[in-house]
Amino acid sequence: MRRAAALLVLVAATACTTVGPRALRFSRGTYNTAIQQTNSEQLLLNLVRLRYRDAPLFLEVTSISSSLSLELGAGLGGSVGSNNNSVAPGSAVTFIDRPTISYAPLQGSRFGKQFLSPVELSDILLLYHAGWAIDRIFRVFVQKLGPLQNAPRASGPTPPNAPEFESFFTATDLMRSLWLDGMVDVNYQSSVAGDSLTLTLTSRTADEPRIAHLCALLGLPGPIQRITLTESPRPDEVGAVQMVTRSLLGGMYYVSHGVEVPPEDYAVGRVPTTRDGDGDLFDWARLTGTLMRIRHSRREPSGAYVSVFYRGLWFWIADNDLESKSTFSFITQVLEMQSGEIKSAAPVLTLPIAAE
Taking each helix axis from N to C end, the angle separating 248-256 and 2-51, rounded to the nearest 10 degrees, works out to 80
Tell me the CA distances in angstroms from 209 to 200, 212, 216, one per residue in order. Answer: 16, 5, 10
Residue 218 phi, psi (nearest 5) = -80, 0
- pLDDT-wise least confident of 3-17, 51-65, 89-103, 247-261: 3-17
**Total number of residues shown for the chain:** 356
Phi, psi of 192, deg, nearest 5: -60, -35
More confident residue, 70 or 154: 154
Kind of pairing between the strands at 240-245 and 226-230: parallel
Q: Which has more confidence, 68 or 241?
A: 241
Distance (Å, whole) CA 283 – CA 287: 8
Q: Which residues contact 36 (CB under 8 A, 6 or more apart)?
A: none
Predicted TM-score of the model (pTM): 0.81
Displacement of CA 123 from its chain's centroid (Å): 15
* Cα 290 to Cα 140: distance, rounded to the nearest angstrom: 11
DSSP state of 147: T
Spatial separation of the C-alpha atoms in residues 201 and 223, rounded to whole Å: 10
Query: What Rg, from alpha-carbon coordinates, does the chain have?
Result: 29
**pLDDT tens sequence across 262-298:** 999 998 999 999 999 899 999 999 999 999 999 999 9
The pLDDT tens digits for 146-160 are: 999 999 999 999 999
DSSP 222: S
- pLDDT tens, position by position, 167-197: 999 999 999 999 999 999 999 998 877 889 9
| Direct distance between the N- and C-terminal alpha carbons of the chain, in angstroms, rounded to an integer | 27
